[in-house]
Chains A and B, each alone.
Chain A
Amino acid sequence: DTAVSQTPKYLVTQMGNDKSIKCEQNLGHDTMYWYKQDSKKFLKIMFSYNNKELIINETVPNRFSPKSPDKAHLNLHINSLELGDSAVYFCASSQVIGVGTEAFFGQGTRLTVV
């Protein structure tokens, strides 16, 4: 009964490939996010979706395309992978309208581009 789950946990791929990371939350939250954590541990927001609608796109290259089929899912597709895309990608969710706005994170996907 994991609250926010993302798959896969590890992803090793070659430059130029296309890959996807899936995320699902069972908390009933209306907002989901993708964060990128680089080797220096900086947590940088990439995208935010509210009820399946894109709210925030933080100047991420258009090789990154999020897709939210419903408010419980937010997948991340990456085209033409580059070495600099290697990082840990975290999915998260929160309830925007409500008492608490704690963001719950998935376990992370460690992407290694070789």
Chain B
Amino acid sequence: GENVEQHPSTLSVQEGDSAVIKCTYSDSASNYFPWYKQELGKRPQLIIDIRSNVGEKKDQRIAVTLNKTAKHFSLHITETQPEDSAVYFCAASIYGGATNKLIFGTGTLLAVQP
């Protein structure tokens, strides 16, 4: 089955710096890669996603890149702000058909120091 590895487990940056979180997946059939942000005590919420026919996607300060050959995908946050502090999860899934099994990475605790 699908396995998703995520690094680093914790990341501390200064406000204004960039943050990068990396994930690798095992199932080459995976075609959907979302990123979720979970603030303390809250539910995970989607911040950006990318499908396998796209190499990069950007939404304001956040961007995601996908390397299908290497089975890597990364989240990039630029100009970090204290409100970006949260746990970030990558996930991989094969969508379409009868199943949509989102497998999550182990999470990255991002702390943005003011």
Spell out A's residues near B (CB within 8 Å): 31, 33, 35, 40-45, 48, 50, 55-56, 90, 92, 94, 96-97, 101-103, 105-108
Given the known inter-chain contacts A45-B102, A48-B100, A102-B49, please indicate yes or no for A96 contacting B95, CB distance below 8 A.
Answer: yes
Known contacts A44-B104, A96-B98, then 12 further A-B pairs from the complex at CB < 8 Å, ordered by chain A residue? A41-B106, A41-B107, A43-B107, A45-B102, A55-B98, A55-B101, A97-B96, A101-B95, A103-B100, A105-B45, A107-B43, A108-B43
Are the C-beta atoms of A105 and B44 separated by less than 8 Å?
Answer: yes
Bound-complex Cα distance A35 to B42 (A): 14
Q: Does B114 contact A (CB under 8 A)?
A: no
Please tell me the size bucket of the interface on B: 20 to 34
User: Chain A residues with Cβ under 8 A from B19's Cβ?
Assistant: none
Interface of chain A, helix or strand or loop or mixed? strand
Query: Which of A33, A40, A41, A106 neighbours the largest number of chain B CB atoms within 10 Å of its CB?
Result: A41
Given the known inter-chain contacts A43-B89, A43-B107, A101-B93, please indicate yes or no for A50 contacting B45, CB distance below 8 A.
Answer: no
Bound-complex Cα distance A42 to B85 (A): 18
* Contacts A/B (CB < 8 Å), 5 sampled: A45-B101, A45-B103, A55-B98, A56-B99, A96-B98
Interface string of B39-81 (1 = CB under 8 A from A): 0001111100100000000000000000000000000000000
Spell out B's residues near A (CB within 8 Å): 32, 34, 38, 42-46, 49, 87, 89, 93, 95-104, 106-107, 109
- Residue of B whose beta carbon sits closest to that of A50: B98
Q: How many A-B residue pairs have CB under 8 A?
A: 62
Bound-complex Cα distance A103 to B89 (A): 13
Bound-complex Cα distance A102 to B104 (A): 13
User: Chain B residues with Cβ under 8 A from A31's Cβ?
Assistant: 100
